[in-house]
Structure 1
Amino acid sequence: MSVFLRGGGFLVRERGLEDFIVDELVKRGWRYIDSMSLGREGLDKPLIYSVLRRKIREFNPGVGEEDVSEAVSLLEGRGFGASGAREVLEYLKFGVPVKLGGSRVSARLKLIDYSDLGRNEFVVSRQVIHRGVREIRNDIVLYVNGIPLVSIEVKNPTEPGVSWRDAFLQIKRYEHSVPELYKYVQIGVAIGARAKYFPIIPWADPGKVPIYEWREEGLDSIGSVIEMLRPHRFLDILRFYTYFRMEEGRESKVIARYMQYRAANKIVDRVLKRLRGEDNIDRGLIWHWQGSGKTLTMIFAAMKLYWLLENPMIFFVVDRIELQNQLYYENLTKLDLGPEVKPKLIDSIDRLRQVLSYNDYRGEPGVFVVTVQKFQPSEFEELEKFLKAIAMSRPGTVMDRMDIILLVDEAHRTQYGVLAEQMMRLLRKANYFAFTGTPVPRRNPLKNTFAKFSPPGELYLDKYFILDSIRDKYTVKIAYQPGPFDYSLNKELLEEFLESEFDELPEEVRRRVERHVGKELDIRKFKVFLENPERIDRIAKYIAEHFRENVDGKFKAMVVASSRRACVLYKRALDKYLPPEYSEVVMTFQSNENDTLIEEYKSELTSRYHVMNPRDAVQKIIENFRTEDNPRILIVTDMLLTGFDAPILQTMYLDKPLKGHRLLQAIARVNRPYRGVKEYGLVIDFVGIFRELEKAFAMYEREDLKGAVFDVEEVLREFKETLQHLLQLIGPKPVVESDEELFRYVRIKAEELARNRSLEKEFTGKYRVLRRLYELISAKLSRDDIEQYKWFSNIYVFYVKNFVGSTPEEELAERYYKKTIEAISHSLQVLEKEAEFSPIKIDREFFEEFIQNKNIGLEDKASALIMGIHKFKLYAHNDPIYVSVADKIEDLMRKWRRRLKNSLELYEEAKRLWEKIYALKEEQTKLRFGRREYLVYRTLVDAGFKEKHALEVTNKLIEKLKDKISLHGWSKNPKLVRDVERITALTILREARIAGFTIDQARKLIDLLVKRLEKSDIEQ
């Protein structure tokens, strides 16, 4: 159901949508106050001091006025940067640290009452003006106890080319315009036809800010985000689901996705109900697909329980050292979890024993990371017996505590073994929650995650699987294609592996497998085949060719080899066909390698990276893969097949027998979205496992695997279906005799898009999908399919160039859509040559020739002039001439789109506007002004300055500013921006008074000048 529906029609105006949002927020507990009645002490003061002071007194009985003033002063005094914002968030969660009465006694004064939410004051206001570097007007602001915490911007959902992204970028500009406001604001909401939310990170570029869409059953995204902002839920998100985090060496901020919030709260609710005696369920299974962020879900649940319970013990349980280090070093230690919160790594069995024996066997409170392997029965049998012996006489030991929570990662692997049994016997009253992206299937009764962690009658506590994740665009689809048939395992070996009990053949258990399995699975035969140097060399040559043609320059790749020896062989082979720096091996090394080939490579690796321990080199390689150009291909066998997250990874070359959950885990490495240009992750199968797909996933229910993996032939079908949809929408390529005739049809179709918002939205959305698919399967397309694709590509390119301009995705087109660019290169040249239909040149001779051309009809002339002028707006919007005619261009485009005038009227108006643009260009040339000088001059003249006076003021102002604005990038330096504003204000206030301006008019002119100067710096 759409929340837009009201009285049988859609809300179409920006202000109407704004009204609706405010009304819905009021229904959910926010109190509306007009912006002029908020009680702020000035436009440069974001806080409502009277409310804030009153609430501090109310929440902190007994504090003096000096203490209240100190708390407000400390809050207000935080800086604009990351450290200041981090302190503000800490104060919002835990209170402001104040020395009471000036004494040495320190206490945290609460700003928000989280224990009794009704005592807080929730206010929504709209059209709120703030003044900083420049003046802004926020559409909607949400205040809690006088502190602005949410900024909402709304854009007209029916306006062509406008979306939630414009609202998002507006908030990003506002962060810079009024940093004093945005050091308090925690969440931004951008609304167009859809609604998105994101953490406020003023120092981060727009592309570095995580943007999410909330989802509630039965509601669209706007209704869902309104539900997210219910007062009690918003404070829950603020307190427990918003954190600072270090990412790539810089401070960032995380906020929960809706499925993370939902799952974590289910865990917390289950634990609290059990502790209150409301039920006795002590476990649950969280089934979230790889890439959905389940590590953060675990952390969100853990930290909420940590703060709600009194001295709990919380364990993150993993089954691999690699995952332990990822969880601890790459996640927990990089999150600012709160004052004095220090998660601890249990790095030995002795340390685990100390934690459990602490405080007379009551256990050490805190948050811990431990591997399940440390629960060795031989090490803990005595402790278990001792605890059982004293349980009757002295309850409250770790064996009987119910406030112990274990969050078990990837529970399908070892958690059904003897180690997990020991853990569960020792902590028999604890709460166990398993997290998995690929659960052990219900068909295997011996290894059933559901039976181990799900209470009777419940399969899962929360589920977010493959199709959910693809729908929400948190992951992309995975396609597979077979490698050359003669490289694959023969049918006999493949059947032998598929019918065995093993999901893979880890190197470290090979000897044990050979000794105990014997006839069931002859490992030696696999080894001889998969480690054959000649075979590996042939595959490496294939990989190199495929990588160069399809991956390099856009994405990165991973080779999954069958063993550590095979990894080294692949590295040697790939170095023959690609530059050596392109590929690196990521695997574990033994202190004394038995294999000479591996030992030699280890020595080479440590020498090349100037380290003693190969583990340090491996960590550097992983880091470089994510952040540097090289390496471009990782060669692995076991490491990184779980838990490794690198969105740039798009192609996996699979040469290792895997099945079941291990296969799902491995291929999921390529399913992360990347810059909006990755439609599929691709797996090329050299083993042949995907030829027997049903057997490889035989243990799963078919329903559970929907959307897990697609044959490339299915991708081809998707392309053809999308192509067919566009054929019905736009029509096929016409039969023409010349490029010029084709161009005319292209222009007509592009104009149809420009005049029809719903058609434009449907066409551009479908075409972008088609374009991403084309890059993947162009070699499999028929000639006719390619011709139709080129037809749609020409329409799309023409439309974007003439009616949209530069967008983030189109800026990436040349790099990521090389095959499309190649396919339509001739057409692009024709488009460029047909200058009469895009007169962007401000040239009198060209214009006169165009006007006199009798071969062009009146309607075509009108459209061509209008498109040319609009193109001037798109590509010369930073030109000082544009600022003088922007409104006229918009008005002309509106009349053309809505057909408000006939062709003759539009033609005459377009001619007059073109003459105006030309006259302004002539004026700039005559004055001998550069871009910035003319920008200032035209702004002053358009505001009402006499031309002579404007000339004097322009020269005076530019002379004063030249040292500040001459350096490109000055607008990103807060000090330089403040200097520019100060100098502009001092100069213009005096001159505007002479010109007869009021103070208010002068201030608006100052804001406009600074804004335009800043924009000219950003876009030069």
Structure 2
Amino acid sequence: MTSIEKIQLDRVCEELERVGWERLEVGELEGVVRGDVFREKIKELNKAEFERHGEDKILPQIFSALESADEVKILDYLRYGITIFIRQWNAMIPVTIKLVDFENPDKNSFHYVREQSFTFANLVIRPDITLFINGIPIVVIEGKSPVLPETEPYLEGLNQIMRYQKENPELFKFVQFGISTDGYRYPYIPTLPRREITTPRDFSFWKKDKKEDIFYLLAPRHLIDYIGYFIFFIRDKKGERKKILARYMQYYAAKRVMDRISKYLSKEDEKRNGLIWHWQGSGKTYLMFLIGNLFLHRYQERNPLVFMVIDRLELQEQLTDAMKSIENKRLGDVRVVERIEELKEIIKNADREWGLKIVTIQKFQPKEIELKKTVKKREVLFLIDEAHRSQYGDLAATMRKIFQNAMFIGFTGTPVFRKYRNTFSHFAYPPEEPYLDVYFIQDSQRDGFTLPLIYRLIEERYVDVLLSERDIRDIIDNYEEDEELTEKVILGEISDIKTKLRKNINKQIIFLSGEKRIRRVIEYIRSCIDQDTENFRFKAMIVATNRKACVIYKRILDEFYPEEFSEVVMSYQANERDNEIHSFKQRIAKKYDPDWSKANSMIKEKFIKEENPKVLIVTDMLLTGFDAPILKVMYLDKVLHYHRLLQAIARVNRPYNELEKTCGLIVDSVGLFKHLQKTINIYNYLARENTEEIRRDLKNAFKDSKENLEVLSKNISSIRAKLKELYDMDIDWIKDNLRSDPEVIPYIKEKVGLISLLFGRDDNATKLIAIIKDTLNIYRGLGADPNKLDYKDDIEVLSIIYQEFWRKIKGEVKRKLRKELWDAIIDWIHKSMIVGDMEEKFRKEISPTVMTKPAVYDILSTDFYNIHSIVRERLANPLYKEIFDRLERLKKEWITRNIGVEEFLKELKELDKTVKGYMRIEQEEPWKRVTEFTKVYLKDKAGIEIDLKPMEHQLRTIFTRRRLLDVDRKRLNLEIAKLLVKTQIPYKERLKLEREIMNLIEEEVRKGLWITS
């Protein structure tokens, strides 16, 4: 431990003592508990039981239970005590021994110990600080020096806590979470016995009044409360156990709801509604569970009844899966109310009913349910998801009329407040209380639970696909008049009505779903989707105007991409009147499942878990409640309004830490940006309630490309000035001479060396690197926006500076990293930023006889990843796939040091030469490229050379027609067979080669059609 770390930990101990913890010296353990404290406290908390039955009958059973329990059972023991059995007369009497007193927190002991040793399988670990409640280890704290230069210092502490969980699984059955600190920040992370050490990702920062304050959570009363109700385990879809810790906004919202419930049930206050306004992606589903669980436990003696209400079957499935994944035996079975008759039975027996029910609002049919039968019971809690929808008509009125004394808590990320649809009026008490709790866009983005959204309008040359302002206004006006009817008309679910509404929007529907227009939109999407998705590191969604448009989008996309590239998720009618939709429905039924709901679920699962589909086409489904972190880009080709617009675009705001997702991207091909601003302005109701901050959040949350370009420009100007002022580094000189002056690279290395030495010690250097990183992320987040290219030269220089900086830092901190190939950051920089001459310059610099060994490692690894990134993007071509496999083998040989520098370089140069040859072929006319690749493949694979002129005419025809037909495939296959039959290749090998060549040709033909169309 360094002196700096000791000082930081001393401060932590001072804060712990301030909030109520006492220091305890290192002592002997019984298992992992402090036996001396533990024995004393449980005797004190269970005095009557110990006096009646004696210590000898109780303690052995307690220690035995603790030793055999897993982490779920341990948490249960902490909350509810351990039930043991003691023989009395001729019977075994159950006796519950309390480990922690939750009703009287002050009766517990709260100790912290510095560097307490814990041993498991002869391996000793010593957390810097361990917190014990009644001698039971509950929290561990690791401190790290704030001047670690390579990364955020607290991340090293989190990594150490992750190692501890594997090294001593017995301890982490008891420890509920770990905290790392550099003296400034205190991230906390769930802990449990782990089989593998993984990168810490699910850490959070506790806040109080919008300021980080972990010691608020660690205050004994708060920690007792948190352990009691705000930690739970789930089983994910793979069956793996995970621990969930409530986030601070969930904790405070749940406490406010319980305060409302407590006052209502004690008749201290008659308010029984509440609105929880939390932005999309902030964890509303688990918040609903936390509140329901708290309510059921606190009022268990009064038969509490909880309804979770949703308005869509797809949301019912999601909510049910989420609730059933929670390991909470005392909650009882989660019951889904499938039929109206079941609901009527619950209403009939409401006084005796208890537990958690999931029900759709559609079950509350006024014609089906006897309205005269009302429930007087007060201990009924309705938790209503998406409270801005379906809560304004007869169904909601029926629900409230029957349960006239129940409590109603609404959850939404996008409240509505129009004349007849006002979420605030239905769930809150305006004007004095517009909501019970709010956690809005800026809060969520600041905490990293959701990402910023970047907005881009389709390029000017595609202006013909945009709706006029008047057409958009007509559709929105109809939405305001009758939202449900308008949506059904647009989706094509109502096709035979002759209403004024239909006439008003029919022209716009025809325009938006027209095949010629959709082809134009797809042309634009094809031109930018690679950049927008970062070469499909992420995925995309197309929002079409209606179901017919979805099918057209799919049909046209299939002309340019493999069928598995995209899929449609939408609803179907029993008797589809449109022939194309009917045919598509049959196709989906054959491919997936006749039940379209199951088919859609299968497609969603594939989108999230598998490589394909890369694009989902939707119109209404998945615009709410669909969480897919890999989804980054939404191509918005439908008029959406108000809350529907905000909900839809929030589909792309989920973080994806594994791939360093930095933003969501909205690409508008309709022309909705002005109405996005109007959507924001409808929240002026809250402006009168001194909530100016929320209005500001709404305005700041959705930045179009112009705003991000402005930020980019300002950042670059600021960086240029700081580099010149502080380090005498001239960005303009570097730009002008980068490709011509050999002194540029040494100049950069010299200046960056100074910055790296000061990083972590000087605020200017630290802040400079942070703003460079942010600037690179902004540039990357702009996707295919052509205006960003104005800054390409600046970004290229900043990329080199940032790359060189991390080389220096990594070299100072861990020299051994130079023995391995550079990883994702070099890959990203060279794939996205450094191009052309710069790559060639690095290649020319490779000369082991001239350079020092560390420099050789840097150049070799950089050169390797340049080639690797080119090949990886072309794996559909078997020639590139072979190169890729050779690169991977070469990488393995290099890392394991089975080959030296010269051998690595020789092989790398050969591969580089081959790749360059392939790339020259790619520049040929499409038909010629196909024949050339086929020739190369035949020569490499079979060692034969064949004249492919007989195929050229047919290939020219395909590219002229711009479509590959089945008859083309048959003719090409026949020509290949004719050519190969002249060779001496054995029959079976010849058939295999025919298939391989045909696959190659088909892939290159598809690619050629995509490039030339």
Alpha-carbon distance between aligned partners in 1 of 2:352 and 2:787, rounded to the nearest angstrom: 65
Give, in angstroms, the shift of residue 595 of structure 1.
2.7
Deviations 1:409-454 (A, max 9, x none): 111111122211221121121111111101113xx23221111111
The answer to whether the aligner puts 1:585 opposite 2:557 as a matched pair is no
Deviations 1:849-880 (A, max 9, x none): xxxxxxxxxxxxxxxxxxxxxxxxxx99x999
Alpha-carbon distance between aligned partners in 2 of 1:789 and 1:497, rounded to the nearest angstrom: 42
The answer (yes or no) to whether the contact 2:273–2:407 under 8 Å persists in 1 is yes
Give, in angstroms, the shift of residue 172 of structure 1.
0.9
**Structure 1 segment 433-582 matched on structure 2, within 5 A:** 433-441=409-417, 444-456=418-430, 457-483=432-458, 484-500=462-478, 501=480, 505-507=486-488, 515=497, 518-519=500-501, 522-551=504-533, 552-582=535-565
Give, in angstroms, the shift of residue 618 of structure 1.
1.6
**Structure 1 segment 634-653 matched on structure 2, within 5 A:** 634-653=616-635
Structure 1 residues 507 and 208, CA gap change in structure 2 (3 angstroms): farther
Alpha-carbon distance between aligned partners in 1 of 2:251 and 2:846, rounded to the nearest angstrom: 51
Structure 1 residues 17 and 674, CA gap change in structure 2 (3 angstroms): same
**Structure 1 segment 168-317 matched on structure 2, within 5 A:** 168-192=158-182, 193-201=184-192, 202-203=194-195, 205-207=197-199, 209-217=201-209, 219=211, 221=212, 224-249=213-238, 250-310=240-300, 311-317=303-309
Give, in angstroms, the shift of residue 87 of structure 1.
2.1
Give, in angstroms, the shift of residue 86 of structure 1.
2.1
Give, in angstroms, the shift of residue 524 of structure 1.
2.5
Alpha-carbon distance between aligned partners in 2 of 1:826 and 1:775, rounded to the nearest angstrom: 23
Partner of 1:840: 854
**Structure 1 segment 913-952 matched on structure 2, within 5 A:** none
Give, in angstroms, the shift of residue 814 of structure 1.
5.4
Alpha-carbon distance between aligned partners in 2 of 1:784 and 1:687, rounded to the nearest angstrom: 26
Deviations 1:350-395 (A, max 9, x none): 111111111xx52511111111121122223x3x3244xxxxxxxx
Partner of 2:326: 335
Alpha-carbon distance between aligned partners in 2 of 1:114 and 1:569, rounded to the nearest angstrom: 61
Partner of 1:901: none
Alpha-carbon distance between aligned partners in 1 of 2:362 and 2:628, rounded to the nearest angstrom: 28
Alpha-carbon distance between aligned partners in 1 of 2:608 and 2:621, rounded to the nearest angstrom: 16
Alpha-carbon distance between aligned partners in 1 of 2:65 and 2:596, rounded to the nearest angstrom: 48
**Structure 1 segment 338-737 matched on structure 2, within 5 A:** 338-339=329-330, 341-358=332-349, 361-380=350-369, 382=370, 384-387=371-374, 398=375, 400-441=376-417, 444-456=418-430, 457-483=432-458, 484-500=462-478, 501=480, 505-507=486-488, 515=497, 518-519=500-501, 522-551=504-533, 552-609=535-592, 611-675=593-657, 677-701=660-684, 702-703=695-696, 705-731=698-724, 732-733=730-731, 735=733
**Structure 1 segment 842-991 matched on structure 2, within 5 A:** none
Structure 1 residues 711 and 560, CA gap change in structure 2 (3 angstroms): same
Secondary structure in 1 aligned to 2:798?
Answer: helix
The answer (yes or no) to whether the contact 2:186–2:205 under 8 Å persists in 1 is yes
Partner of 2:15: 24
Q: Which residue identity does 1:820 align to in structure 2?
A: M
Give, in angstroms, the shift of residue 128 of structure 1.
1.6
Structure 1 residues 477 and 809, CA gap change in structure 2 (3 angstroms): farther
Give, in angstroms, the shift of residue 615 of structure 1.
2.2
Name whichever of 709-718 and 726-735 sits farther off. 726-735
Partner of 1:136: 125
The correspondence for 1:126, drawn from 114, 126, 136, is: 114
Structure 1 residues 218 and 560, CA gap change in structure 2 (3 angstroms): closer
Q: Which residue identity does 2:527 align to in structure 1?
A: E
The answer (yes or no) to whether the contact 1:328–1:369 under 8 Å persists in 2 is yes
The answer (yes or no) to whether the contact 2:161–2:178 under 8 Å persists in 1 is yes
The answer to whether the aligner puts 1:812 opposite 2:824 as a matched pair is yes
Structure 1 residues 85 and 584, CA gap change in structure 2 (3 angstroms): same
Structure 1 residues 671 and 434, CA gap change in structure 2 (3 angstroms): same
Deviations 1:324-344 (A, max 9, x none): 111112x10111123352121
Give, in angstroms, the shift of residue 88 of structure 1.
2.0
Structure 1 residues 694 and 515, CA gap change in structure 2 (3 angstroms): farther
Name whichever of 514-523 and 641-650 sits farther off. 514-523
Give, in angstroms, the shift of residue 784 of structure 1.
6.7
Partner of 1:929: none
Structure 1 residues 150 and 428, CA gap change in structure 2 (3 angstroms): same
Give, in angstroms, the shift of residue 626 of structure 1.
1.4
Q: Which residue identity does 2:581 align to in structure 1?
A: I
Structure 1 residues 788 and 811, CA gap change in structure 2 (3 angstroms): same
Alpha-carbon distance between aligned partners in 1 of 2:848 and 2:426, rounded to the nearest angstrom: 69
Alpha-carbon distance between aligned partners in 1 of 2:429 and 2:675, rounded to the nearest angstrom: 34
Structure 1 residues 831 and 31, CA gap change in structure 2 (3 angstroms): farther
Q: Which residue identity does 2:571 align to in structure 1?
A: T
Give, in angstroms, the shift of residue 574 of structure 1.
1.0
Q: Which residue identity does 2:25 align to in structure 1?
A: D
Deviations 1:878-935 (A, max 9, x none): 999xxxxxxxxxxxxxxxxxxxxxxxxxxxxxxxxxxxxxxxxxxxxxxxxxxxxxxx
Structure 1 residues 286 and 351, CA gap change in structure 2 (3 angstroms): same
Gaps of 5+ in 2: 685-694, 725-729, 812-816, 858-891, 898-1013
Give, in angstroms, the shift of residue 645 of structure 1.
0.8
The answer (yes or no) to whether the contact 2:335–2:358 under 8 Å persists in 1 is yes
Secondary structure in 1 aligned to 2:106?
Answer: helix
Partner of 2:39: 53
Give, in angstroms, the shift of residue 649 of structure 1.
0.6
**Structure 1 segment 30-41 matched on structure 2, within 5 A:** 30-35=21-26, 38-41=27-30
The answer (yes or no) to whether the contact 2:492–2:547 under 8 Å persists in 1 is no
Give, in angstroms, the shift of residue 797 of structure 1.
0.6
The answer (yes or no) to whether the contact 1:132–1:180 under 8 Å persists in 2 is yes
Q: Which residue identity does 1:402 align to in structure 2?
A: R
**Structure 1 segment 48-197 matched on structure 2, within 5 A:** 48-60=34-46, 61-62=48-49, 64=53, 65-78=56-69, 84-101=70-87, 104-133=92-121, 134-161=123-150, 163-192=153-182, 193-197=184-188
Give, in angstroms, the shift of residue 749 of structure 1.
2.3
Give, in angstroms, the shift of residue 541 of structure 1.
3.1
Secondary structure in 2 aligned to 1:228?
Answer: helix
Structure 1 residues 118 and 837, CA gap change in structure 2 (3 angstroms): farther
Structure 1 residues 531 and 208, CA gap change in structure 2 (3 angstroms): farther
Secondary structure in 1 aligned to 2:353?
Answer: coil
Deviations 1:641-699 (A, max 9, x none): 11111111100011111010000000000111222732221111112122443345452
Structure 1 residues 570 and 493, CA gap change in structure 2 (3 angstroms): same
Partner of 1:976: none
* TM-score, normalised via structure 1 length: 0.75
**Structure 1 segment 709-788 matched on structure 2, within 5 A:** 709-731=702-724, 732-733=730-731, 735=733, 738-756=740-758, 757=760, 758-777=763-782, 780-781=786-787, 785-788=791-794
The answer (yes or no) to whether the contact 2:466–2:669 under 8 Å persists in 1 is yes
The answer (yes or no) to whether the contact 2:140–2:175 under 8 Å persists in 1 is yes
Alpha-carbon distance between aligned partners in 2 of 1:207 and 1:825, rounded to the nearest angstrom: 32
The percentage of aligned residue pairs carrying the same residue is: 33
Aligned residues: 807
The answer (yes or no) to whether the contact 1:98–1:106 under 8 Å persists in 2 is yes
The answer (yes or no) to whether the contact 2:37–2:134 under 8 Å persists in 1 is yes
Partner of 2:947: none
